[in-house]
Structure 1
Amino acid sequence: MNNKAHSLLWNIRHLSTSLPRSRVLRICPLGFGRPEVVHSKWYPRNGLLTGFDEGLRPSVRYLFQGISRSVHGCTQTKGISHAAVFKHDRVLCPRSFSSDSEHSLVSNGTSDRDVMKVNFHPNSCEDVLTKKTRPTPVNHKKLAQECNSLSDVLDTFSKAPTFPGSSYFLAMWTIAKRISEDKRRFEIQLMFSHPAFSQLCEQLMREARIMHYDHLLFSLNAIMKLGVPQNTLMVQTVLRTIQERINECDERCLSILSTVLETLEPCMNVNALRAGLRILVDQQVWKIEHIFTLQTVMKCIGKDTPFALKKKLEMKALKELDRFSVLNSQHMFEVLAAMDHRSVVLLNECSKAVIDNIHGCPFKVLISILQSCRDLRYQNEDLFKSIADYMATTFEIWKLKQVIFILMLFENLGFRPPELMDKLMEKAVEDPGSLNMKNIVSILHVCSSLNHIHRGKNREFLEAMVSALTVRLHHISSENLLSVVYSFCLMNYFPLALINQLTKKNVISELLTSGDIEKNIHRLHVLNTCLKLDENAHYKAVHIPLPQLPRPPSHPNDRVAEVLSNLWEDEGCFSRNVQLPHNYHIDFEIRMDNNRTQVFPFSDVDAPLAPNMQSHPRGLLAMKIRHLSAMGFYVILIHNWELRKLRMEDAVAFVKTKIYSDETLPTTDAAV
């Protein structure tokens, strides 16, 4: 034995006898080769210890120096930084553990003498301090195949804990996805109560700084999917570690991180991580290669993202537009809505792709597109008509509630699809018994709000709805009863049985004291007005005592007033902000002869006006026009946006044509 080897062995023996056992080694109880971190007075920037050599015997320092020296030309430094930790006042940087090391420490059951044995050969370049080879890292896919429940995974972990701990969480989430929802809830409860679960959480926290970054992100996703509360120490530790290591994020990790952030509630660590993600995206946006990653990032960054970053992401998406698949185009609506960015150019291009590939489009995608259009205030009649025609053409394959849901979204968007609504009304006439109360309320709301009348079966439809409601009359809640009667009133139809039930004192009292009282009062006022003004109402004497509604706010409409002044060069020919009975308000009043050829100043004698209307108004507006006509007014609808885009000369000519026109009424198919 040469002098160097003899010196090394002498120092090892001297060390084992001179130091107390409690200061020789402290093995991690999980046994996967990770030294236990007792204190944390280390500096992560350089991994150095402050005062580590203080208090150690010279022989201990000589041991570390001797191991790192060259032995017969072979430097013995590999694995030293994590081979042993002496329990002293300071500890090594936790990141010094390497998952690629070939050796690990033994478990707690091994004696100190066995631990300190040296596997030495003068011609070998193997680690000096070693006992046995580290176990092979566990594969979560294989583990998920071998185990049938979450508890089985934890049992496997408790028998032989292996690096990395993230694999156990991934295996449990893989198993949870393939079982039923009820069984999943039960299994998760067992998981939380399993004695090895807390041990696994502790191991993951220790490994957070040393495992691969994508494994860390996948493990966080699995943890949250398994229902671990976000405010737990483990989740917050992982979040903080992800935040500290965010510079390790490549494009794949960027996609995973964005997906995980969508599932997290706002908190200090999540907000800091989201802010870091925005900075990272701002730096790397032009380097993103995959469209799916780009859309995932756009969806994640949030509505409060600076406009400059939103615009940069929009430009990146426009640049990659030629590479968009049909799915990318469909998904872009939801993406833009998620970050509250209304890019008309991008939406128009994606709409073309959706229209061209509308057949076979899943229902969830259709819903997502329409909801996103509503949130973004994006109107595209070609897109809406394409979706409506597709639903009408394939009407038989859809459930009734799916059709109603689509129509509710169209109603929110102000779009009336006549063919699809006709098919729904025909279905209601054929089988009214298949409708539940929620269906009836929704159908009547859509038909009345969009002011749709079935050309051939409108009477049959209304009678079928009344028949279905009359059967349930004594089981209908007061608010539902008011809702359906309100819808019938908008459609100029007055079912006696329903109105009699609604006007009972106890029902009125309930409506005025519970629920959305302001909304209920407004609807009851509408009912009162309809019963007094509409010709189809059979009992004019009914009166419901109600609180007065506040006067509706007046709108300046300065552009229209300027146009009218230029038209007649006299403001005395029209009146502004006219308040009428029944809480009605009109913007401008013009008095003309029966033939609509001459305008009278307001000082002259009133002239009767012929009823008319100029477009297909909706819901309350249609009812208002009907009632104004009953009060002797001729109603002209002018869109402010039409005037704003015209020069004054053209605007005057446009309004003059509207006022003096003797055009016939448009059909109900004409849409605004």
Structure 2
Amino acid sequence: MNHRAGSFLWNLRQLHTLVTTIRTVRLYSLEFCRPNIVYSHWNPRNLLNNFDNGVQSSIRYLVQDSLIFKSGDDSFQIKGISTVTVPAVDRLLCLRRLSFDSKHSPVPDDDLKKMNEATYEDVLIKKPKPTPNKCRELSQECNSLVDVLDKYSEVPRYLSNNYLSAMWSIAKRMSEDQKRFEKQLMFSHPSFSQLCEQTMREAKVMPFNQLLFSLHAVVKLGIPQNTLLVQTLLRVVQERINECGEKCLSVLSAVLEAMEPCKNVDTLRIGLRILVDQQLWKIEHVFTLQVVMKCIGKDAPDILKRKLEMKALRDFGKFSTLNSQHMFEVLAAMNHHSVLLLNECSKMVIDNIHGCPLKVLINILQSCRELRYYNLYLFKGIADYVATTFDIWKLKHVISLLILFANLGFRHTGLMDLLKKKVIDEPDCLNIKNIVPILHVYSSLNHFYECQAQEFLKVMASAVTVYLYHISSENLLNAVCSFCMMNHFPLVLINQLLQKDIINELLLSADMKRNVGKLHILAACLKLDDNPFQNTKDLALPQLPSTPLYPNAKVAEVLSSLLGEKYFSENVQLPHKYHIDFEIRMDTKRNQVLPFSPVDLSTPATNIQRVAVLCVPKSNYCLDSAHPRGFLAMKMRHLKVMGFHVILVNNWEMEKLEKKDAVKFLKTQIYSSEAFPTGGVNLQSTH
């Protein structure tokens, strides 16, 4: 009797607490929009928090076809807009308070009655027994998400995280279309709302690893991030983040990586960074380290990034081949250019490249581009491997690889010749999706002058002609521009491109600036190159903004010392938007430099050789070679048509030379080889 009276008084006190802390919340029908739920007062210094602060603003909770809030009298408000009086959550949930709604409790009634008699401390100390195989049993017994919910509706024998994890395990086995259909059925299932409610009730008392698995499953199942279920789980994880061990670190990192930024996600990410900083040297598994590094983000403090780099270098002896392959993507996600780590991983990747999936190689090259990491040994090893096993790869995969190589400025002649031979031998392999990328690769890398070049270009032009009335205007422009850069002019394609309506469409496009640049290239090629369109009237194109001029002070100083102030001109603008850094005028044999001023120039124009000195950065060449890339090669061709002799001066090499050596280098470049044996030749040098 005393026990019943004590229980009654305890319940009465709880009811009094609920009545004195009620609040009114306005509910809205389900809308997929940005979250309006914000948790505040989270202290990252101790990483623990209290749920007593409640939630601010309106709260949206996804269950079935409506939003549901449960009030103190076990009634539900469903559909439409309504105002419901709900109690504020003012203390930690425990199993005793869950006894008010035991219909869907994860434990039988008898056990629940015993647990209600336990003290508050007992509940916190005695955690539910782990059920590691329940999720596997459910996923093996059921074939769909609805089957799991049906089993839950019969008798909910397990904790909620087992059902959620089983549903995600089943969803992973489905195709995208099937997964989309199953999710629709899941949201409309009558037991789904009950499972969501049970998950929130159990969040504070279930083991921390199961809490993280529940959050992971909820996110992966596509439950909107702005729902009360997801935000509640995020909040509880914030409160209990100090319980995070190494395995939980990897799960939490994977979850945060899959979520969009919001108040609670950002706060939890900050907490994760603090926790990683504290536990970094205790992490034993490379996989955990890489997942954490990938989740840390690009905006993480540099000091934390360097600590993670040092940890990875210290544990490099534990790296497997898979770890080395994955490290490129991890560093790109961090935006951390670690040369030592990338070099070591590159060696391991190439040493174990046989059998590596092409998708992994493509991810590596994409990461290298993001990190601006140029390793000729790595690129050549990948290209050699693909060239050796060329016949086993699909054409689209090889093209994807070549596009990345082109973006990195790497030209592998063997692989490109293999693709060219395949195109010539099997023209049917070309389609509207791969024609333009192939042309872009070969034109940007200036790879067209070897044997069978004309045959290759004719096959490509025929393939574009087949799809002429199915290709977009921008793709047609890209294709024609690539042909022109390679000095090939297919009549049908150019005539189609020069149609007034197509030109107007290109000029009104969202990418108008880029289109105008390509049209200027087309106009220059049609005017200067040997083609049937030389008599075509000029295209009325908008003027491009002038590009900034970079001074070449050292080259100007050397030329002044070598030739004299009046014997060269700097920053010369030419037709078709071409610019040369320095112009020199010489006799036709290039033995003598002539005064540059036209007033003092008495020599007939036919006896003058104009010399263009171009100061070229390393990016204008293919990687680690003297092979000019597409635009530079076209510019040199056009300057020769204009009557110039072209001299290339490599900026990075000129900066390394002493002034005396620089003068000697330019002297040998400017004057003809026949000029040096002649003792009476005036080199116009002050030295």
- TM-score computed with the length of structure 1 as normaliser: 0.79
- 1:37–1:91 contact (8 Å) kept in structure 2: no
Q: Secondary structure at the match of 2:463?
A: helix
Shift of 1:22: 7.5
Residue type at the aligned position of 1:263: A
Instruction: Tell me which of 610, 615, 621 is aligned to 2:632.
Output: 621
2:351 maps to 1:356 = yes
- 2:93–2:201 contact (8 Å) kept in structure 1: no
- 2:584–2:612 contact (8 Å) kept in structure 1: no
TM-aligned CA distance change 1:571 to 1:302, over 3 Å: farther
The residue aligned with 1:642 is 653
The residue aligned with 2:92 is 94
TM-aligned CA distance change 1:212 to 1:532, over 3 Å: same
Residue type at the aligned position of 1:621: L
Within 5 Å, give how 1:13-24 maps onto structure 2. Answer: 23=12
Shift of 1:198: 1.1
The residue aligned with 1:486 is 481
The unaligned stretches of length 5 or more in structure 1 are 1-9, 27-35, 50-88, 120-125, 664-672
- 2:528–2:638 contact (8 Å) kept in structure 1: yes
Please identify, of 528-537 and 421-430, the stretch whose mean Cα deviation from structure 2 is larger.
Answer: 528-537
The residue aligned with 1:56 is none
The unaligned stretches of length 5 or more in structure 2 are 24-40, 43-47, 53-86, 123-127, 615-620, 675-687
- 2:439–2:482 contact (8 Å) kept in structure 1: yes
Within 5 Å, give how 1:164-203 maps onto structure 2. Answer: 164-203=159-198
Residue type at the aligned position of 2:596: F
Shift of 1:24: 10
1:456-495 C-alpha deviation (Å, 9 max, x unpaired): 2111111111222223333333222222111110000111
- 1:153–1:171 contact (8 Å) kept in structure 2: yes
Within 5 Å, give how 1:314-393 maps onto structure 2. Answer: 314-393=309-388
1:400-430 C-alpha deviation (Å, 9 max, x unpaired): 1111111111111111111111111111111
Q: Secondary structure at the match of 1:591?
A: strand
The residue aligned with 1:633 is 644
1:181-225 C-alpha deviation (Å, 9 max, x unpaired): 322222111111111111111111111111111111111111111
1:218-272 C-alpha deviation (Å, 9 max, x unpaired): 1111111111000100100111111121111111111111111110000000000
Residue type at the aligned position of 1:608: Q
The residue aligned with 1:298 is 293
Instruction: Tell me which of 256, 266, 284 is aligned to 2:279.
Output: 284
- 1:38–1:91 contact (8 Å) kept in structure 2: no
Instruction: Tell me which of 3, 9, 24 is aligned to 1:12.
Output: 3
The residue aligned with 2:502 is 507
- 1:217–1:253 contact (8 Å) kept in structure 2: yes
- 2:585–2:611 contact (8 Å) kept in structure 1: no
The residue aligned with 2:685 is none
Please identify, of 135-144 and 388-397, the stretch whose mean Cα deviation from structure 2 is larger.
Answer: 135-144
The residue aligned with 1:261 is 256
Shift of 1:334: 0.7
2:598 maps to 1:587 = no
1:262-289 C-alpha deviation (Å, 9 max, x unpaired): 1000000000011111111111222211
Within 5 Å, give how 1:408-427 maps onto structure 2. Answer: 408-427=403-422
Within 5 Å, give how 1:109-124 maps onto structure 2. Answer: none
- Identity among equivalent positions (%) equals 60
- 1:425–1:454 contact (8 Å) kept in structure 2: no
Figure out how many residues of one structure are paired with residues of the other and give that number. 587
Q: Secondary structure at the match of 1:599?
A: coil
2:156 maps to 1:161 = yes
Distance 1:48 1:627 in 2: 72
Shift of 1:593: 3.7
1:336-367 C-alpha deviation (Å, 9 max, x unpaired): 11110111121111111112122211111111
TM-aligned CA distance change 1:286 to 1:168, over 3 Å: same
TM-aligned CA distance change 1:655 to 1:254, over 3 Å: farther
Distance 2:218 2:137 in 1: 19
Distance 1:117 1:205 in 2: 18
Shift of 1:174: 1.1
The residue aligned with 2:45 is none
Residue type at the aligned position of 1:182: D
The residue aligned with 1:78 is none
Distance 2:401 2:302 in 1: 32
TM-aligned CA distance change 1:486 to 1:46, over 3 Å: closer
TM-aligned CA distance change 1:323 to 1:653, over 3 Å: farther
TM-aligned CA distance change 1:658 to 1:97, over 3 Å: farther
Within 5 Å, give how 1:558-597 maps onto structure 2. Answer: 558-568=553-563, 570-597=564-591
**Structure ranking higher on relative contact order (CA contacts 8 Å, 6+ apart):** 2
Residue type at the aligned position of 1:365: V
TM-aligned CA distance change 1:340 to 1:13, over 3 Å: closer
The residue aligned with 1:535 is 530
Shift of 1:657: 4.3
1:30-56 C-alpha deviation (Å, 9 max, x unpaired): xxxxxx999799x9999999xxxxxxx
Residue type at the aligned position of 1:203: Q
Distance 1:563 1:146 in 2: 81
Shift of 1:609: 4.6
Distance 1:272 1:444 in 2: 47
Q: Secondary structure at the match of 2:649?
A: coil
Instruction: Tell me which of 222, 236, 244 is aligned to 1:227.
Output: 222
Distance 1:454 1:47 in 2: 71
Shift of 1:549: 2.6
Distance 2:118 2:495 in 1: 93
